Amino acid sequence: MAKNLMFQGTGSSVGKSLLTAAFCRIYSQMGHKVAPFKSQNMALNSYITKNGLEMGRAQVVQAEAAKVEPSVLMNPILLKPSTDKKCQVILKGKVYKNMSAMEYHKFKPELADKVKEIYDELHNQFDIVFLEGAGSPAEINLREHDLVNMGMAEMADSPVILIGDIDKGGVFASLYGTIMLMTEEERKRIKGVIINKFRGDVKILEPGIKMLEDLINIPVLGVIPYSHLEIEDEDSLAERFKKNKNTKGQIEVAVLYLPHVSNFTDLNVFETQEDVNLRYVMRGESIGDPDMLIIPGSKNTIEDLKYLRDAGLEKEIIKLHRQNKIIFGICGGYQMLGKTLKDPHHTESSIPEINGIGLLDIETVFETEKTTTQVEAEVTAPIDYMENTFIKGYEIHMGRSFLGKDAKVFSNIKVKLGEEVLIEDGAINEDGSVIGTYIHGVFDNIKFTRSILNHIRAKKGLDKIESAIESFEEFKEQEYDKLANIVRENMDMETIDKILNGEL
């Protein structure tokens, strides 16, 4: 019989996603067939599976850690906020409908049976399923119809480990308070506690651990040290956007942080390049004078374009263009760089048509059907420094873009969902300084990324250099192994095994 274990937290950003990934890798290394599962994920970061279905990237990371192919069975519900009051509900990889928070809450009882059915389907395919909760299980106003925390644990009949974040302070109070707000039946499911993100000598913590265990009558199974790992982690997004890790980089890459930014994981690879200083331009900040500006994807392209315009950032973008800096748009960012954006069906906005930034000779028309596909493409842009480079990635967008006479095709898609095709993608201007593509993950292709960075280096009079990593995939594998080692060394793995075996 397949086994399971669920990780819940005292709140958001305590490290549930990464610890779930850690256990996926640990038990995969032990020879088990392991899968992650999160019934409901709210995120603008999503991924397209090999069969063209959409799921949250957090479960993709966990699947990679488990060394299995990502599947929408691992994340049956994805909520993508489109406005302050509504979100797009994606059910089993496909758009279901847009709903308000109240509409969705009323829909939950109907969803519960679907979630249980999907979980059982996944559970039957694997030896162990590691489940992840969302936010806190102690939100007593949301307990009714819960299908992501203790409600999901009950559906899956899963034991639970509760995670607290000591880096924020108040970890003992948050663990104790969370447990005390649970019902007696819910408390019985909690088999252990983890204290995460600890800095310093654990001996100082030991008296507090003993007192907590006496109060809650549940063992603390591990104290995980604060560690820096280059792994996608939605729980630490605020830290990622604020930090500017490599201030000594010879090339500055600036990324516009949009109000509805999506798939910002497209930019993570730059943090692995030693000559790059990656900087996110937050609300109220100036773009400055970067060597390359990236406009990322957006869940609401028209509203984010208005934001750029109202904030005065559009003028800064045009100024950079006049200085011959590289400007790169991905998906929604690509659409913004065009001349016109039309939304005849009001797919994204009540605005039927709006002028774009105008740096690419393209027109975009939003459609009612979403494009979701994995692709392989050849960069065919007539620019010497990036010609004939092959890239892999995926598309998630609602619009189609049409090229005018002053725009050249960026790439030709050769494989779509595993089948050979020939489809034009993206656009580039005459001198190669403005580039746009619908392909997410384009920069994960190291050869392509280095071709742009070395072109910038040449313009600055610097020698060409190679990447310290050969592929982003291999780099991520090394990081998953590091994560597994850290957690294994600081956890009571013998007790974890007993919990999984139903002995506790």
Per-residue confidence (pLDDT) for residue 439, from 0 to 100 = 97
The domains of the chain, with CATH numbers, are 3-231+477-498 (3.40.50.300), 251-461 (3.40.50.880)
Q: For residue 167, give the nearest of 236, 237, 268 by alpha carbon.
A: 236
Paired tokens of 257: 């942080």
Degrees (nearest 5) of the Cα angle 124, 125, 131? 80
The SS3 assignment for 398 reads strand
Q: Which residue has the tokens 């106003």?
A: 141
> Residue 241: its pLDDT value, please?
60
Residue 140's alpha-carbon distances to 11, 373, 382, 435, in angstroms, are 13, 39, 59, 49
State which H helix or E strand residue 55 sits in: strand 54-56
| CA distances, 387 to each of 262, 359, 378, 455 (Å) | 28, 21, 8, 12
Give pLDDT, residue 242: 60
| Tokens of residue 276, six digits | 């790059």
Are 34 and 66 within 8 A, CB to CB? yes
pLDDT of residue 247: 66
Q: If residue 25 lies in a helix (H) or strand (E), which one and from where to where?
A: helix 16-29
pTM: 0.90
- Please answer whether residues 290 and 265 qualify as being in contact, where contact means their C-beta atoms are separated by less than 8 angstroms: no
CA atoms within 13 A on the CB side of 42: 11
Where do runs of H (alpha helix) occur along 91-227? 101-123, 150-156, 171-180, 184-189, 206-216
Measured distance CA(482)–CA(486) in Å, rounded: 6
pLDDT at residue 20, as a whole number: 98
Alpha-carbon distances, residue 44 vs 87, 255, 259, 300, 436 (angstroms): 10, 16, 11, 11, 20
Helix (H) or strand (E) holding 449: helix 446-459
Going 303 to 306 to 312 to 318, the CA torsion angle's sign is: positive
| CB 208, CB 174: distance < 8 Å | no
Largest CA distance in the chain: 74
Q: Tokens representing 480?
A: 């998953």
**What are the pLDDT tens digits along the chain (504 aa)?**
569 999 999 999 899 999 999 999 999 999 999 999 999 998 888 999 999 999 999 999 999 999 999 999 999 999 988 776 788 999 999 999 889 988 998 899 899 999 999 999 999 999 999 999 999 999 888 888 899 999 999 999 999 999 999 998 999 999 999 999 999 999 999 999 999 999 999 999 999 999 999 999 999 999 999 998 888 876 545 555 665 555 678 999 999 999 999 888 899 999 999 999 999 999 999 999 999 999 999 989 999 999 999 999 999 999 999 999 999 999 999 999 999 999 998 888 888 999 999 999 999 999 988 899 999 999 988 778 876 789 999 999 989 999 999 999 999 999 998 899 999 999 999 999 999 999 999 999 999 999 999 999 999 999 999 998 889 999 999 999 999 999 999 999 999 999 999 998
- The residues annotated with a catalytic role in the active site are 331, 440
Q: List Cα–Cα distances, 405 to 148, 269, 362, 422, 429, in angstroms.
A: 51, 33, 9, 20, 10
What's the confidence (pLDDT) of residue 368? Answer: 87
How far apart are alpha carbons 329 and 453 in whole angstroms? 16
Distances from the Cα of 112 to the Cα of 109, 152, 155, 170, 432, angstroms? 5, 9, 9, 34, 51
371 vs 169, 241, 433, 494, CA distance in Å? 44, 28, 27, 46
DSSP string, 129-161: EEEE--S-TT-GGG-TT--SSHHHHHHHT--EE
